[in-house]
Structure 1
Amino acid sequence: MGVHLDRARAHFGRDGNGLLEGGRYALVHTRSLEFDDLRPYVQGDDVRDIDWKASARSGQVLIKRFVTEKHHKIMVVADAGRNMTAAAPSGELKGDVAANVIGAMGLITLRRSDEIGMVFGDARGSVDVRLRRGETHVEHMLHRFHHHVGTGPASSHVLTQLDWVARHQRRPLLIVVVSDEPDVDDRLDGALTRLTARHDVMWAMVSDTPAIGSEEDDGFDVADGRFVFGGAALGQGVVDAYRRAEGQRRERLSEFMVGHGIPHTVIGGSAAIRTRLIAMTEVYARAG
């Protein structure tokens, strides 16, 4: 594998068969009735697929595996703007966490030979990486994303990328959005209404380091360069009010996504990618 995919796999997990099988079946909800073989049960599998007789004979829970009717066409929609140059709660750059999320999605597709593409960019516009299969293609996607984030991107505006997909992608796709946590407003509502009418959508959000969570350090906003006071300068009352407001904002955002039928997750660092993506795809599988 290439350097970017190797990095994603290191965070996504080395338990290749178990983890990728679970992710694979979480992402697939269209299959034929043609039996293929048996495999051990993985958390998130449909219990209706358990072969009870074979499980009793073997002493472990076994799942019937069926031949899939078709491969998925997965389109990653990624924010590659200035917001990705900020720090995540883990201390990593948000762009590095986002790249590892994209790489994890690519790893899931490799076992099934799914097609995967990407639309990424910033407020200036979008770059379209066409749907293709294979490890070399996924590595190329990740290289282009890293290069864009690392070479002075414009301000983030993921609606630009969502609008591009809504205008240009007419075939039904599984769309996986990778960005920071968006602001809920009428424009986002309209964009998701258009997208979910034609496509399945999931959203993986890379969270920010809390703006005033530090007791001592001041900082700045990468979006506009404005100075941000740390907790010591503002006082505990302001910090507490900020934390309450952040909790309410995230609750509103989650309710908004649920209202649009969009499985979603918030990821604070690369170490959480495996568990958060599996949880998100399980919601998608149940919805299907």
Structure 2
Amino acid sequence: MPSLLKRVKSKMFIFAHRRTLSLLDGEYGSVFKGRSMDFDELRSYVSGDEVRDIDWKATARHGSPLVKRYVAVRRHSVLLLVDSGRNMAAEAFSGESKKDLAVNAAGVIGYLACRHGDDVGLVHGNAGASMYLPPKGGEEHLERLLREIDSTITLHGETSGIARQLDYVLRYLKGRMLIVVIADEFLPDATTADLMRRLRARHEVLWLTVRDAHLAPGIETRGTETQGAGAQGVLDSTDIGTGTAIPFLLAADREIRAAYEHAMAQRDELRAALFRRLGIAEEQVEGSADVVAKVFAVLEKHRSGAPGPGRRSQRGQCAG
């Protein structure tokens, strides 16, 4: 069977030139900068030291600038938290399979971790159950994780329920990790939002959302006007999560589509506000062509520090 990791690498090199890969490496490494490090000692400030490393209280007592020195923990644990419910077997915004985008995104993150010598683990599942593969190093282990994701996302599985996987991590996994969530597009309810908040308090959390397909996939190439129920090439859509059929003629109706797009825009605003309030960096993946860019964007957003609990936005207002 062809290697999934090789497929991920080939796509990375297609969509990312050498400079982009270097930037990706830098952004990934910056996630742990100043974190997962053990305090060593205080010493006098010298030109070139980071201003953020200055210990201002010790400086005030000493009378001259002192900076904190740390001993870096060289090996970190990265956890891929992947929605493998049947919702992820549906079609994505680009028309590709959501499963393929999930494997691709997990592969990019895992490959970056391997390049940095970090361990990678996996929690995945649906509304009924969660599965865990402990963190290990090496590309052979990463290949196993990608195959696990690829083989468990099917149209015959149970519906998605990412709250179950969030709860599993909070209950059973100890130690601070970088957690990258790869999930279906949804609006978290109060229970899920609370789990996200608790997870964010314990770990570094990044979130990649795989965007849903159009209400009527392919309508852009067929045109907005379809004459007659028997128009050739016209297929009804199905909501994979609920199994509900969506007649194409209804989905293609201009007023229905406008109402749907308005509702989705409102949902997107609520989702964005929630992620900002929780301080979780999130990006939405539409297709394989933008996976590398979205991984870079979410790493950069996390490094720059999305306003979260206890932080203030650039406008000086409390983000919570």
Q: TM-score range by the shorter chain?
A: 0.7 to 0.9
- Provide Cα deviations, 1:198-240, integer angstroms capped at 9, x if missing partner: 1111100001102246345421111121111336665211211
SS at match of 2:174: coil
The answer to whether the 8 Å contact 1:267/1:276 transfers is: yes
The answer to whether the 8 Å contact 2:185/2:211 transfers is: yes
Q: 1:9 to 1:172 in 2, by over 3 A?
A: same
The answer to whether 1:192 aligns with 2:202 is: no
Task: Kindly state the Cα deviation for residue 28 of structure 1 after the two structures are TM-superposed.
Answer: 3.1
Q: 1:242 to 1:79 in 2, by over 3 A?
A: same
SS at match of 2:215: coil
Task: Kindly state the Cα deviation for residue 90 of structure 1 after the two structures are TM-superposed.
Answer: 1.6
Equivalent residue runs for 1:85-234 within 5 Å: 85-150=89-154, 152-212=156-216, 214=219, 215=224, 217-230=235-248
Q: Select between 78-87 and 17-26 the one with higher mean Cα deviation.
A: 17-26
The answer to whether the 8 Å contact 2:183/2:209 transfers is: yes
- Provide Cα deviations, 1:133-155, integer angstroms capped at 9, x if missing partner: 11001000011111111473211
Letter in 1 for 2:212: D
The answer to whether the 8 Å contact 2:82/2:182 transfers is: yes
Gaps of 5+ in 1: 33-47, 50-66
Aligned to 2:58: none
Q: 1:268 to 1:100 in 2, by over 3 A?
A: same
Q: 1:250 aligns with which of 268, 280, 295?
A: 268
Task: Kindly state the Cα deviation for residue 9 of structure 1 after the two structures are TM-superposed.
Answer: 1.6
Aligned to 2:302: 284
Letter in 2 for 1:160: R
> Identity of aligned pairs, percent?
29
SS at match of 1:91: coil
The answer to whether the 8 Å contact 1:267/1:273 transfers is: yes
Task: Kindly state the Cα deviation for residue 124 of structure 1 after the two structures are TM-superposed.
Answer: 1.8
CA RMSD, 1 decimal: 2.4
Q: 1:160 to 1:233 in 2, by over 3 A?
A: closer
Question: 2-side partners of 1:254 and 1:25: how far apart?
Answer: 26
SS at match of 1:195: helix
Task: Kindly state the Cα deviation for residue 246 of structure 1 after the two structures are TM-superposed.
Answer: 0.8
Question: 1-side partners of 2:251 and 2:277: how far apart?
Answer: 39
Q: Select between 174-183 and 67-76 the one with higher mean Cα deviation.
A: 67-76
The answer to whether the 8 Å contact 2:103/2:146 transfers is: yes
Letter in 2 for 1:125: A
Q: Structure 1 length normalisation: TM-score?
A: 0.82
Question: 2-side partners of 1:191 and 1:262: how far apart?
Answer: 12
- Provide Cα deviations, 1:44-83, integer angstroms capped at 9, x if missing partner: xxxx79xxxxxxxxxxxxxxxxx95433211111001100
Letter in 2 for 1:4: L
SS at match of 1:182: coil
Aligned to 1:52: none
The answer to whether the 8 Å contact 1:172/1:198 transfers is: yes
Task: Kindly state the Cα deviation for residue 106 of structure 1 after the two structures are TM-superposed.
Answer: 0.7
SS at match of 1:152: coil
Task: Kindly state the Cα deviation for residue 19 of structure 1 after the two structures are TM-superposed.
Answer: 4.5
SS at match of 1:275: helix
Aligned to 2:83: 79
SS at match of 2:176: coil
Q: 1:233 to 1:212 in 2, by over 3 A?
A: closer
Aligned to 2:285: 267
Structure showing greater radius of gyration is: 2
Letter in 1 for 2:94: S
Letter in 1 for 2:241: A
